[in-house]
Structure 1
C-alpha cells in the first residue's frame, strides 16, 4: 500500500522525569532529576530547535501535567506532549486540563493518550479492567473528550462512561484542542488509532516491521475515511564516528549484571501490552544479538520498558536511518539519549543539520560570542572551516 511521504519532519526530545544518568541499571553515573535539571533539558531543547518534548507518565515518573506547567513559562517555542489516562481521568477533567494548559502555554500542548499496559500498576491506580475493556474505555473517553474540546455540550451514555450536560467554559487555543498522539500495537489499539487519533506512534522496531504495522493502521484509517500522521519513538547514540558510537552503546550497559536484566524482564513479562512483547522479542532478554538492524540496537530494552531501541552510528548514518523511517510516512521523531542534557546538544549539533526539519533549528539570531563560530583563537580571530584559511 502506498503512503504519503512528507518532505519535512518534526524532532521531539524527552524529559527524563523517571531518572537520568550515564549508565543503565545502576546508580553509578546517576544524577538527580529535579526542577533545576528539567529546566536545563527543556531550555536546551527549546534553544536547539526541537519541536517539542515528550513527558512520560506512570508511577515511576513525576506527573507530566505538573512538569509541563512548571516548564512552559520558561520556554518560548517548545511544545509539551503530556499524557491523558483514560480510566484514570474522567474525560471532562482531562478536557479542562488540556484547554487550560493550552491557554497558559500559548497553544504549545500536544496530548499523548496512554491506555496503560501493566496490570499491576493499573490495579494500584484502581483500574481492574481487562486489556479489551481498557480500550473500550479509551474509545468512550475520547468520544466525550473530543466533543468537549470542539465546544459541544455533551450527553453520553456508554458501557463505562456516562456524562450529562458536560461542557467547557474556557476553550483551548488550538482549534478543536491539542493534537492527539497515541501508540499501541494490538488490534484494539489500532482500531482506536484509526478512528480517533491524529498521530499514531510506534516504538523503534526494524524498518520492515514498522512498515507492516503502519500499513495496517493506514488501511484501517482509510476504511473510516481518515488520514493520520505517524511518529516513532527511538533513543539515539550518535558520535562523530560509527566506532565511537558503538563504544558508547557498550558503555551504556557496561554496569548491567544478569540479575538486573532478569528482574526487569520478569516485570515486562507480566504486562499485557502487545507493543512491550514486540520490544522484548527483539532481544529476548539476552546481551547476544543486540544489533537488530542497520544502526539499530536493542540494548536499552534490556532494563527499560517501552521504547527500548536506539539508533547508533555516525551523524550521517543516523540521519540516513531517520530518512528510511521518514520514507514510510513518519513525520514525528520522538528521541532521547543518556544523559539527556548532553545528548540533546549532541544530536542537535551533529544530526539536525542533516535533516529536513519543518521548523528551523535554533533561535536564529546569535550573539557575537556564541556558536557556530567557535572560541576566538588567540583572542584575535575567529576559526574557519576545516581545510580553509581562518
Structure 2
C-alpha cells in the first residue's frame, strides 16, 4: 500500500528556529517570527499541495489560532489540499461539531479531515471550563464520537451517556464524504476509544520498535471490535542534500536554545497528564547535549522535545536517509505521515522536492494530483 504524506500549518507563528512560537515558548527567543497570518499560512498551504502533500494538520490550543476558522479561510487560498482540523470534544457539543463538519465538507468539496484531541494538560483544560479527570475525558471522547458518527449516518440521536447528553439531535444535511477521524493516545483508555471509533490512529515519532508495539496493540483492540484501523505518525523533519548538512542544521537549532528555556519548558511538560508526552520526555531526559547525543534511533532526533510539547522527534538526514526511515515505519504498518519542519514554508520544499520523489521512485508514494511535467524548459541561448 502506498503512503500518504501530510504537512503542518503553524497557526502559532513560524521562524527559522525551534523556539519561534507556540507551546508556551517565548516568541522573542530566536530569529524573527513570522506571524500566523492568512497570507503566510496560505503560502505554506500552496507550497504543500504543489509538492505533493495530501493534507495539512492544524493544531488546537490556547497558544494558537482557532483551527476551524483558520482552515475555513484557507480553503479559498488553495485548490486541492485537505485540512486535518484538530479540536477538543470538551469545548464543543457533538451536534455542533457534526454540523460544522458537514458544512465544511460541503463548502470545501470534501477537503476536511478531523483530528480529535482528548487533551492532556489539566491547566489548559480548566481554562476552557473543562474540569473532568483524564479517564472521564476519554469516556466523553468515545460518547462524542458515537453521536457524531450516528448523526453523519443520518440518524436522529438521543444519548444519555456518562458525559454526553443529547436529545433528538439530527442534521438537515449530512457530510459527503464523511470526514475520516484521526486520534492519538498512549493510555489504555485511549486504546479503547481508538479501537471503537477512529479511522486513523496517530502516534508521535517514537523509535520503530515502540511504534511496532503500538500498532500491534491498537490493531488487536480494533480486531476484537470487528474493525480495522489505519495508522499514522507525527514527525518533524530536517532533510538536506547530505547527511552532514542536515545534522549541522539540527546542531544550529540547539545552539539557539538557552539552557534556562529548556528547564522552564521541561518543568511545564513534567506536569502533563498525557502518557504520550511522558514517552516523548523519556527519549531526551531533558538534557542539553549535542545533536548527535540526542539521536535515539537511526536518524531519529529527540532534540525538538527539549523545547516543544507534543511531537518531540525529527527525522534528520539526507533525502535518501529520511526516505529509508519513512519506509521502515511504513513496513511496520504506518501509511499516513504527518510531517513538519522549520520554517514550514522552506522545509515543505526540502521534503517535497527531496524526500517525496525518492519515495516515489521506490513505489511508495504518488503525487495526489498525478504525474507532473518534470522536464525543464528549453533555453536556446544557453545551448
TM-score bucket (shorter structure): over 0.9
Residue 220, structure 1, aligned to residue 221, structure 2: yes
Match runs of 1:108-257 below 5 Å: 108-174=111-177, 177-257=178-258
Instruction: Please report how far the alpha carbon of residue 378 of structure 1 lies from its aligned counterpart in structure 2 after TM superposition.
Output: 7.7
Question: 1:321: how far off?
Answer: 0.3
Task: Tell me the alpha carbon deviations over residues 3-29 of structure 1, each in whole angstroms, 9 at most, x when there is no partner.
Answer: xxxx20000000011121111232324
Q: CA deviation at 1:202?
A: 0.2
Aligned residue pairs, count: 368
1:314 and 2:318 correspond? yes
Cα separation, 1, equivalents of 2:61 and 2:16 = 22
The separation in 2 between residues aligned to 1:302 and 1:363, in whole angstroms, is 39
The Cα of 1:359 is off from its aligned counterpart by: 4.0
Deviates more, 1:83-92 or 1:125-134: 83-92
TM-score (norm 1): 0.91
> Any conservation in 1 of the 2:232–2:334 contact (CA below 8 Å)?
yes
What secondary structure does 1:281 align onto?
helix
How far apart are residue 171 of structure 1 and its match? 1.5
Q: Give a deviation string over 1:309-356, Cα, whole Å, max 9, x none.
A: 000001110000000000011100000000000000111111111114
Q: Does 1:67 align with 2:70?
A: yes
Which of 4, 7, 10 is the aligned partner of 1:13? 7
Q: How does 1:335-354 map to 2 (within 5 A)?
A: 335-354=339-358
- Name the residue aligned to 2:367: 360
Q: Judge conservation of contact 1:48–1:362 (CA < 8 Å) in 2.
A: no
1:62/1:372 CA distance change after superposition, 3 Å: farther
C-alpha contact 2:75 2:108 (8 A) present in aligned 1: yes
Q: What is the DSSP-based 3-state SS (H/G/I as helix, E as strand, rest coil) of the residue aligned with 1:235? A: strand
Mapped to 2, the partners of 1:260 and 1:245 lie a distance apart of: 24
**Cross-structure match for 1:3:** none
Matches within 5 A, 1:25-104: 25=19, 26-104=29-107
Query: Structure 1, residues 147-188: CA drift from partner, whole Å, max 9, x if none?
Result: 0011110011111111111001012110xx200000000000
Counterpart contact for 2:8–2:344, Cα < 8 Å: yes
CA distance in 1, matches of 2:174, 2:155: 11
> CA offsets per residue over residues 48-91 of structure 1, 9 Å max, x none?
11110000110111111111100112222111000231121110
**Take 1:108 and 1:314, find their aligned partners in 2: how far apart are those partners?**
32
After superposition, the CA RMSD in angstroms is: 1.5
Distance 1:323 1:205 in 2: 15
* Structure with greater proportional helix content: 2
SS of the residue 2:338 aligns to: strand
CA 238–361 in structure 1, closer or farther in 2 if over 3 Å, else same = farther
Task: Tell me how far 1:357 sits from its aligned partner.
Answer: 5.0
**Does the 8 Å contact 2:116/2:181 carry over to 1?**
yes
Partners of 2:321 and 2:30 in 1: CA distance = 31
Q: Secondary structure at the match of 2:90?
A: coil
Q: Map residues 324-335 of structure 1 onto 2, 5 A cutoff.
A: 324-335=328-339
In 2, Cα distance between equivalents of 1:251 and 1:83: 30
What's the offset of the Cα at 1:96? 0.3
User: 1:218 Cα shift?
Assistant: 0.8
For residues 77 and 12 of structure 2, the distance between their equivalents in structure 1, rounded to whole angstroms, comes to 21
Identify if the C-alpha distance between structure 1 residues 372 and 65 changes in structure 2 by more than 3 Å, giving closer, same or farther: farther
* Distance in 2 between residues matched to 1:65 and 1:372, nearest whole Å: 39
- Which range moves more in the overlay, 67-76 or 57-66? 67-76
Q: Cα offset for 1:362?
A: 6.0
Look up the match of 2:26: none
